[in-house]
Structure 1
Amino acid sequence: MNRVIGYTRVSTEEQGRSGLGLDAQRAAIEAHATAKGWEVVWLTDEGKSAKSLDRPALQTALSTLKRGQAEAIVVAKLDRLSRSMQDFSSLFARAKKEHWSLIAIDLGVDTTTATGKLVANVMGSVAEWEREIIGERTSAALKAAQARGIKVGRPRALSRDAETRLYELRAHGLSFAKVATQLNAERVETAHGGTWHASTVARILNRAA
């Protein structure tokens, strides 16, 4: 492997905190790349949260990797890339499909190695378990509502995948507005093909509550 993307990120709140600055992240990546003999292409998202993968520099990195113009994305800390196990799992699956590697220095996740692949697979399994647990809790809540005589249903034409993703995001503590923003970012279709709004999310959840 010769050419990698060094990805750094700070949110607005983190920009002034020690240990999370861009310089510290870059220094860690540079040291690792120098030891490996890699050429680094730098991409940075400033003032961006890790709650979503919809970040300009990260999307550029993913496009670059897909085109084969770099062989890996390297981060100093995994949370610079994502704080969601599900997002990490989707990135890992994408990396395998598109034949590039993912390296998080702090956790020793390096999918160019057998051990790194094992760690990534374990994290992916945890993400899958988390999705199943959320699904079981959602199902139990709906059955309990039905047992109380409450009519439970989803808006006509809303896909099962869309409904499941909405409940997953809400279960992670996101507000109605943030759930809507994430669904729009992921291009999840509404029942009628429009744009998600906080009121739309609230209406669907209230029908099951």
Structure 2
Amino acid sequence: MTRALGYLRVSTEEQAANGHGLDAQRDTITSEADRRGWPLTIVADEGMSGSQVNPALRDALDQLRHGRADALIVAKLDRMARSVLHASEIIDAAKTQGWDLVICDLGMNLSTPQGKAMASMLATFAEFERDMISLRTREGLAAARAKGKRIGRPRLATADVVDAIVTARDGGESFASIARTLTGGGVLSPQGRSTWQPSTVRRIYNAATQEAS
């Protein structure tokens, strides 16, 4: 039997206090789970903006990844994901890890041909979004260098290394994956070490993108 998690989110403390939006999401999700005959557990992020992976969503994705649940149901796409890129990442996780995802407002279910087609379209838009982010970041870096700004960490964090980190991260790679690539390529860290840490990659990326903005 499919064990489903229903995820709810409201975006402000006021909404969390008076329940605006929560009841409608809960009713939609519960109806969908009942229609499918799926046992349902509701998890919610109340008063959260959606600008990050909030605690209840992070916990839900962790349960799904480790097989403690089999499906995620959300009432609306914008309750689950902050962007098309973020949505595509969650959809990819569902397909890779083997759990089902139902997005009620889109009528999307990854177990159906229609749902798979919609997921492919979202992936196409996500790729476009990544390309645009990368383009804007590169243009910002170039403009910052033209003004004589120092980009990223000093010393061994060369412009080429910073560009490589920004490009890889904007292309969807994790900081840990980028760190492994730099280590494997024999690139020295800003501390002169042969091993890169994900935290070092994160600091360089954040510094570069902040200065470029």
Task: Give your verdict on TM over 0.5.
Answer: yes
What TM-score comes out, normalization by structure 1 length?
0.72
| Other structure's SS at 2:15 match | coil
**Counterpart of 1:5?**
5
2-side partners of 1:92 and 1:149: how far apart? Answer: 41
1-side partners of 2:47 and 2:123: how far apart? Answer: 27
**Counterpart of 2:129?**
130
| Other structure's SS at 1:103 match | strand
Aligned residue pairs total 189
**Counterpart of 2:35?**
35
Counterpart residue identity of residue 163, structure 1: V
| Other structure's SS at 2:124 match | helix
| Other structure's SS at 1:90 match | helix
Measured on the aligned residues, the alpha-carbon RMSD in Å equals: 3.7
Matched-pair contact (CA < 8 Å) for 2:77–2:105: yes
C-alpha change, 1:153 and 1:95, in structure 2 (3 Å) is same
Unaligned runs of 5+ in 2: 180-188, 192-196
2-side partners of 1:161 and 1:48: how far apart? Answer: 33
| Other structure's SS at 1:74 match | strand
Q: CA deviation at 1:139?
A: 3.0
Matched-pair contact (CA < 8 Å) for 1:29–1:74: yes
2-side partners of 1:18 and 1:78: how far apart? Answer: 22
1-side partners of 2:168 and 2:17: how far apart? Answer: 33
Q: CA deviation at 1:140?
A: 3.9
Q: 1:98-109 alignment to 2 at 5 Å?
A: 98-109=97-108
Q: CA deviation at 1:134?
A: 2.3
Matched-pair contact (CA < 8 Å) for 2:100–2:110: yes
Q: 1:1-209 alignment to 2 at 5 Å?
A: 2-12=2-12, 15=15, 21-53=21-53, 55-143=54-142, 150=148, 153-155=151-153, 156-157=156-157, 160=163, 162-164=165-167, 201=206, 205-206=210-211, 208=212
1-side partners of 2:20 and 2:123: how far apart? Answer: 25
Q: CA deviation at 1:143?
A: 4.6
Matched-pair contact (CA < 8 Å) for 1:7–1:42: yes
Counterpart residue identity of residue 24, structure 1: A
1-side partners of 2:73 and 2:11: how far apart? Answer: 18
* Larger gyration radius, structure 1 or structure 2: 2
Q: CA deviation at 1:69?
A: 2.0
Unaligned runs of 5+ in 1: 169-182
| Other structure's SS at 1:15 match | helix
Matched-pair contact (CA < 8 Å) for 1:45–1:57: yes
